């Protein structure tokens, strides 16, 4: 796999891993019980997609998915600021979910036509699962589209969603990523050398 393709897969994997963590923050405190279930499942899917994407890159680099996911420093991650934000507001969360799923669908469509059969195959698999996220996001969009709080959140986050397609600016992070990274890697960093899980 070419270096450029590895970089692209890492960008997407990092987006999915970090967004998965952010989505999971609603587990137990979402405004509706059914949304607890939905966001927990969506988070699990996103982290699963990250794992599979890291796996392909890890094979090419002779490393492991866990090393790629957890052993880099925060400034080495390639995720976009949109997924890093710790959103405490449901309208903002749904706005990000909607914008992210739109952008993600676009890049998956391109990846499905990759010359590399492994990449195209994985993109097709991920896309089948994302179809359910898109239905969920659209359902919330239809419900909230006339709510000023939601419309404002959409407008505020839209530029960052557009930046998802801009590789040149990846690597610029919000301060919120460092806090998330501390939390996400604490168990792994505390693992004594030689421990087997």
Partner 1 sequence: MTEAQVWDALAEIPDPEIPVISLVDLGVVRGIDVDDRRVRVEFTPTFLGCPALEVMRDAMADSIRALGAEPEIEVLLDDSWSTDRITPEGREKLRASGFAPPSPRGVAAPTLVQLQSNAHRCPYCGSTETRLENIFGPTPCRSLRYCASCKQPFEQFKTI
Site of interaction with partner 1 (CB under 8 A) = 34, 37-38, 40-42, 44-49, 51-52, 55-56, 117-118, 121-122, 124-129, 131-132, 134-136, 138-139
Complex with partner 1: residue 9 or 160, whichever CB lies closer:
9
Contact 108, 123 (CB under 8 A): yes
Q: How far is the CB of 132 from partner 1 (least distance, A)?
A: 6
Closest separation between CB of residue 142 and partner 1, Å?
Answer: 9
Select 55 or 176, whichever has its Cβ closest to partner 1: 55
Nearest residue (CB) to partner 1, 32 versus 175: 32
Q: What is the torsional sign of CA 124, 125, 130, 135?
A: positive
Residues 6+ apart with CB under 8 A from 12: 49, 53, 104, 107, 111
- Looking at beta carbons only, is 29 or 124 nearer to partner 1? 124
Q: How far is the CB of 26 from partner 1 (least distance, A)?
A: 12
- What's the min distance (Å) between Cβ of 51 and partner 1? 7
To the nearest whole angstrom, how small is the minimum distance from the Cβ of residue 130 to partner 1? 9
Of 26 and 160, nearer to partner 1 (C-beta) is 26
Give the span between the Cα atoms of 4 and 42, in whole angstroms.
Answer: 28
């Amino acid at each position: 796999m070419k270096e450029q393709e590895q970089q692209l897969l890492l960008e997407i994997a990092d987006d999915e891993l970090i967004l998965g963590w952010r989505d999971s923050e609603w587990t137990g405190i979402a405004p509706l019980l059914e949304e607890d279930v939905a966001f927990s499942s969506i988070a699990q899917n996103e982290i699963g997609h990250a794992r599979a994407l890291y796996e392909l890159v890890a094979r090419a680099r002779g490393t492991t998915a866990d090393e790629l996911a957890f052993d880099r420093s925060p400034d080495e991650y390639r995720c976009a600021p949109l997924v890093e934000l710790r959103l405490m507001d449901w309208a903002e969360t749904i706005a990000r979910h909607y914008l992210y799923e739109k952008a993600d669908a676009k890049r998956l469509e391109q990846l499905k036509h990759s010359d590399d059969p492994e990449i195209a195959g994985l993109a097709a698999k991920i896309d089948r699962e994302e179809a359910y996220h898109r239905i969920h996001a659209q359902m919330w969009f239809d419900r909230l589209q006339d709510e000023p709080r939601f419309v404002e959140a959409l407008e505020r986050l839209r530029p960052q969603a557009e930046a998802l397609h801009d590789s040149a600016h990846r690597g610029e992070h919000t301060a919120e990523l460092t806090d998330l990274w501390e939390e996400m890697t604490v168990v792994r960093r505390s693992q004594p050398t030689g421990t087997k899980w």
